[in-house]
């Protein structure tokens, strides 16, 4: 955090971009997101926390992306393409759906984005030439996506041998793939341009953006394909060792994520350039970066890929100080937040504190735990994207826990119902930053939960807000809470 971090009091809102209202069924870089920013600015929020923007991978998870560099095409605003003169009218689609339907939305938006690309090639050849020049750093990822499309989205180890080997020998002619490569560059050009407008609007309103960097990359990704020596892969390219989490508070059975595990010995030989570059990419997108699964820099959980659960696994030492000493030669550490949740050994907290990185304190984990030790330098949350909603959490408390909670809150004499009191309790903490979730403000039950860790289903990552009307209705009430807690 910046040097004035401990002397500021700000409130933020955790809300995934995809979950925002939009006439095309998914939040994107268009006008409706700017409307959202203006609304939360009016409420008094000065921070907006989002989930990773990379191409969504397995199970719709933003933590299994196809690339650390690319942005998912679903965030490209079709209305922006109309403004650019590359499309005419586009009808609304999935606007009133209660949940995100990624497959339908992707098919719908893709047909119009491809039409816009075709129009650009016919009417604006100078633009296409400009894009090729400006987006040259995206070329490798564009090749990966072109290969993937050519193989009907099969994982890269299933491609033709010459495509798999291209990253090493580049013998394969790319002529048959050039149209798709250029299309991918076109998409990323306008995504980059669109996000720049959103970020500029946020800064104009005095709102800073907190992004999220997953610790691991997806296996079926350009990251793994182009950097195979940095992972433990078998002869055909699939992971021998995969990542996960041992049983903890979030999951009694543990979590088998399936991401390939890093080979830190190989990464160290190159001074961790691959990992540092991922951080720098995020640094261009966001003002602050939450380091997801921070504990893995100290120790990380490894599962042999042959096992179907996370019960069989072992802890291994991470790169720790060696990595961060290298990182902070070129990266500003005041922009980082360490996600330090779960069952941690003391060395993890020491690693965090030795670099003066703020961690995270959660109301759901601490308010009923008399042994819980809060760190006032941390960022305070009610819950994360992996937690129940505030209302869902409260409704699932046991009777004695509810009784204890009411007794705790009674001493403060906060106004409103139990949820208002919990919001105020969080906001009044001494922590400089307090992040609330949209579901907390709207008092939504677990139907609005973002993710249940460790499982793949049709529920995770699909929550969406159909309209800003419910948020507009509580604008004054939220602003009063922020004023009472001196967050504005």
Nearest by Cα to 324 from 353, 300, 355, 283? 355
Q: Can you tell me the distance from the alpha carbon of 110 to that of 106, in angstroms, rounded to the nearest whole number?
A: 6
Find the mean pLDDT for residues 434-458. 94
Find the mean pLDDT for residues 160-183. 98
Dihedral-angle region of residue 397 (phi above 0 means left; psi in -120 to 50 means alpha; beta otherwise):
beta
Q: Can you tell me the distance from the alpha carbon of 133 to that of 311, in angstroms, rounded to the nearest whole number?
A: 49
Q: Are 435 and 12 in contact (CB under 8 A)?
A: yes
Residue 453 pLDDT exceeds 90: no
Give the pLDDT band of residue 294 (cuts 50, 70, 90): very high
Q: What is the pLDDT of residue 415?
A: 96
Residue 4 pLDDT exceeds 80: no
Domain that holds residue 139: 5-484
Q: What is the pLDDT of residue 64?
A: 87
Q: What does the chain come to in residues?
A: 488
Find the mean pLDDT for residues 263-279. 98
| Token representation of residue 368 | 């009923």
* Residue pLDDT, tens place only, 362-415: 999 999 998 888 999 999 999 999 999 999 999 999 999 999 999 999 999 999
386 is catalytic: yes
Residue showing tokens 């995969």: 242
Give the pLDDT band of residue 416 (cuts 50, 70, 90): very high
SS3 144: helix
Q: What is the pLDDT of residue 250?
A: 61
Residue 3 pLDDT exceeds 60: no
Find the mean pLDDT for residues 22-50. 99
Residues 6+ apart with CB under 8 A from 195: 29, 53, 71, 75, 285
Helix (H) or strand (E) run with residue 47 in it: strand 47-49
Angle, in degrees to the nearest 10, between helices 125-134 and 102-123:
120
Q: Can you tell me the distance from the alpha carbon of 44 to that of 483, in angstroms, rounded to the nearest whole number?
A: 8
**What are the strands, taking DSSP E only, across 86-191?**
none
373: exposed, middle or buried (Cβ count in 10 Å: 0-12, 13-18, 19+): exposed
Residue showing tokens 């989490």: 245
175 is catalytic: no
Find the mean pLDDT for residues 467-475. 98
Q: Which residues of 127-160 are buried (b: 16+ CB within 10 A; e: fewer)?
A: ebeebeeebeebeebbbbbbbbeeeeeebbbebe
Q: Can you tell me the distance from the alpha carbon of 408 to that of 367, in angstroms, rounded to the nearest whole number?
A: 8
Q: Which of 292, 298, 340, 361 is catalytic?
A: 292
Q: What is the pLDDT of residue 1?
A: 63
Q: Are 359 and 338 in contact (CB under 8 A)?
A: yes
CATH of the domain at 459: 3.20.20.80
Find the mean pLDDT for residues 45-53. 98
Nearest by Cα to 145 from 118, 110, 112, 102? 110
Terminal CA-CA length for the chain: 19
* Residue pLDDT, tens place only, 125-155: 999 999 999 999 999 999 999 999 999 999 9
Which residues, listed in sequence order, are joined to residue 291 by a DSSP beta bridge? 213, 338
Q: Are 318 and 299 in contact (CB under 8 A)?
A: yes
* Residue pLDDT, tens place only, 319-358: 999 999 999 999 999 999 999 998 899 999 999 999 999 9
Q: Can you tell me the distance from the alpha carbon of 190 to that of 181, in angstroms, rounded to the nearest whole number?
A: 15
Give the pLDDT band of residue 245 (cuts 50, 70, 90): confident
Find the mean pLDDT for residues 76-82. 98
Q: Can you tell me the distance from the alpha carbon of 237 to that of 164, in angstroms, rounded to the nearest whole number?
A: 9
State the Rg of the chain over Cα. Answer: 23
Q: Can you tell me the distance from the alpha carbon of 66 to that of 58, in angstroms, rounded to the nearest whole number?
A: 9
Give the pLDDT band of residue 77 (cuts 50, 70, 90): very high
417 is catalytic: no
Q: What angle do CA 212, 215, 218 make, to 5 degrees?
A: 100
Whole-angstrom CA distances from 284 to 221, 233, 335 are: 21, 31, 11
Nearest by Cα to 16 from 102, 79, 86? 102
Mean pLDDT value across the chain: 96
**When comparing pLDDT for 256 and 70, which is higher?**
70
Residues 6+ apart with CB under 8 A from 296: 215, 243, 318
Q: Are 217 and 68 in contact (CB under 8 A)?
A: yes
Q: Are 227 and 274 in contact (CB under 8 A)?
A: yes
Helix (H) or strand (E) run with residue 304 in it: strand 299-304
Q: Can you tell me the distance from the alpha carbon of 165 to that of 229, in angstroms, rounded to the nearest whole number?
A: 13
Q: Are 378 and 431 in contact (CB under 8 A)?
A: yes
Task: Say how many domains are in the chain.
Answer: 1
Q: Which of 339, 340, 361, 440 is catalytic?
A: 339
Residue showing tokens 């903890």: 248
Q: What is the pLDDT of residue 2?
A: 60
pTM value?
0.96
């Amino acid at each position: 955090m910046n040097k004035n971090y401990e002397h500021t009091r700000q409130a933020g809102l955790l809300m995934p971009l995809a979950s925002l209202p939009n006439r095309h069924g998914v939040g994107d870089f268009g006008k409706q997101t700017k409307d959202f920013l203006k609304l939360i600015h009016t409420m008094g929020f000065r921070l907006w926390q989002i989930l990773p923007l990379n191409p969504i991978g397995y199970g719709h998870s933003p933590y299994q992306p196809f690339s650390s560099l690319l942005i998912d095409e679903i965030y490209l605003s079709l209305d922006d393409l109309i403004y650019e003169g590359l499309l005419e009218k586009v009808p609304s689609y999935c606007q009133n759906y209660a949940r995100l339907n990624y497959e339908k939305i992707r098919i719908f938006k893709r047909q119009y984005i491809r039409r816009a690309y075709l129009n650009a090639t016919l009417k604006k050849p100078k633009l296409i030439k400009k894009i090729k020049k400006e987006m040259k750093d995206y070329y490798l990822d564009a090749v990966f996506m072109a290969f993937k499309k050519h193989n009907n989205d099969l994982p890269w180890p299933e491609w033709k041998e010459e495509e798999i080997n291209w990253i090493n020998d580049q013998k394969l002619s790319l002529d048959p793939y050039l149209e798709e490569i250029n299309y991918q560059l076109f998409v990323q050009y306008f995504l980059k341009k669109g996000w720049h407008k959103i970020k500029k609007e946020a800064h104009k309103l005095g709102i800073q953006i907190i992004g999220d960097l997953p610790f691991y990359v997806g296996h079926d990704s350009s990251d793994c394909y182009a950097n195979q020596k940095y992972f433990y892969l078998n002869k055909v390219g699939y992971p021998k060792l995969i990542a996960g989490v041992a049983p903890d508070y979030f999951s009694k059975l543990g979590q088998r994520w399936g991401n390939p595990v890093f080979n830190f010995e190989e990464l160290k030989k190159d001074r961790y350039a691959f990992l540092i570059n991922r951080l720098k990419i995020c640094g261009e997108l966001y003002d602050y970066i939450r380091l997801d699964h921070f504990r893995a820099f100290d120790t990380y959980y490894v599962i042999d890929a042959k096992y179907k659960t996370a019960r069989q696994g072992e802890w291994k030492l991470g790169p720790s100080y060696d990595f961060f000493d290298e990182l902070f030669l070129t990266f500003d550490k005041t922009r980082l937040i360490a996600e330090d949740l779960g069952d941690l050994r003391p060395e993890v907290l020491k690693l965090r504190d030795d670099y003066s990185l703020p961690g995270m304190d959660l109301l759901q984990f601490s308010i009923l735990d008399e042994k819980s030790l809060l760190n006032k330098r941390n960022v305070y949350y009610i819950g994360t994207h992996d937690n129940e909603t505030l209302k869902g959490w409260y409704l699932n408390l046991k009777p004695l826990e509810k009784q204890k909670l009411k007794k705790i809150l009674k001493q403060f004499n906060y106004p409103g119902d139990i949820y208002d009191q919990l919001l105020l309790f969080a906001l009044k903490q001494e922590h400089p930053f307090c992040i609330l979730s949209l579901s907390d403000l709207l008092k939504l039950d677990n139907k609005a939960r973002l993710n249940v860790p460790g499982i793949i289903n049709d529920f995770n990552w699909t929550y969406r807000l159909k309209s800003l009307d419910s948020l507009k209705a509580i604008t004054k009430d939220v602003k009063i809470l922020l004023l009472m807690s001196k967050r504005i």
